[in-house]
């Protein structure tokens, strides 16, 4: 598991797994279209795959920090009223 240092707490790859699942489709599919429709060498194809992986993880991390984590904090502060 990849560990990220997040100042106050350690963040693992499990924390960004949902964001990664969402982002890999957006980024990966677009880059796969480049690979499929272009005649690239094997090296260049693997370079595009590596770029897709790096971009997907970076976007997932950003999405986790800016959307998921603040949403989770807000949800913990909300109080449910009982009838």
Cite the DSSP H helix spans in the chain.
17-37, 42-63, 69-77
**Which of 17-21's residues contact partners 24+ apart within 8 Å by CB, and which partners?**
18/68, 19/59, 19/60, 19/61, 19/63, 19/64, 19/67, 19/68, 20/56, 20/57, 20/60
Non-local CB neighbours of 63 within 8 Å, separated by 6+ positions: 16, 19, 22, 23
**7-21, 27-41, 44-58, 59-73: lowest mean pLDDT where?**
7-21
pLDDT score of 40 more than 80: no
Query: Model pTM?
Result: 0.68
pLDDT score of 6 more than 80: no
CB 22 within 8 A of CB 32: no
């Amino acid at each position: 598991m990849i560990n990220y240092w997040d100042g106050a707490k350690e963040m693992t790859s499990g924390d960004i797994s949902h964001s990664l699942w969402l982002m890999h489709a957006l980024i990966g599919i677009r880059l796969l279209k480049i690979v499929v429709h272009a005649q690239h060498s094997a090296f260049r194809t693997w370079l595009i795959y590596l770029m897709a992986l790096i971009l997907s993880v970076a976007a997932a991390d950003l999405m986790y920090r800016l959307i998921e984590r603040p949403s989770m904090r807000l949800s913990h502060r909300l109080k449910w009223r009982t009838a």
